[in-house]
Amino acid sequence: MMNLFKKLLNKSNSLDIKNNEIITPLAGKIVNLETVSDPLFAQQIMGKTIAIKTNKISDIVNAPITGKIKALYPTGHAFGIESDSGLEVLVHIGIDTVNAKGKGFKILEHNQGERVKAGTPMVKVDFGKLSKTYDMLVFVVITKNIASKVEFKSLTEVEDNQIISI
Cα–Cα distance between 2 and 49 in angstroms, integer?
A: 33
For the chain, first and last CA: distance in Å? 36
Cα–Cα distance between 10 and 138 in angstroms, integer?
A: 24
Residue 91, domain extent: 2-158
Q: 49, 91, 46: which is closest to 70 by C-alpha? A: 91
Report yes or no on 37 lying in a domain: yes
User: Active site includes 110?
Assistant: no
Q: 44, 132, 62: which is closest to 94 by C-alpha? A: 132
pLDDT in tens, the chain (166 residues): 444 444 444 444 445 566 679 999 999 999 999 999 999 999 999 999 999 999 898 899 999 999 999 999 999 999 999 999 899 999 999 999 999 999 999 999 999 999 999 999 999 999 999 999 999 999 999 998 764 678 899 999 999 999 999 8
Q: Of residues 92, 122, 142, 150, which has the active-site annotation?
A: 92
Report yes or no on 166 lying in a domain: no
Report yes or no on 81 lying in a domain: yes
Report yes or no on 164 lying in a domain: no
Cα–Cα distance between 120 and 9 in angstroms, integer?
A: 6
Report yes or no on 91 lying in a domain: yes
Q: What is the CATH number of the domain that holds 28?
A: 2.70.70.10
Number of domains into which the chain is organized: 1
Report yes or no on 115 lying in a domain: yes
Please say whether the beta carbons of 20 and 149 come within 8 A.
Answer: yes
Report yes or no on 165 lying in a domain: no
Q: What tens digit of pLDDT does each residue of 6-20 get?
A: 444 444 444 556 667
Report yes or no on 163 lying in a domain: no
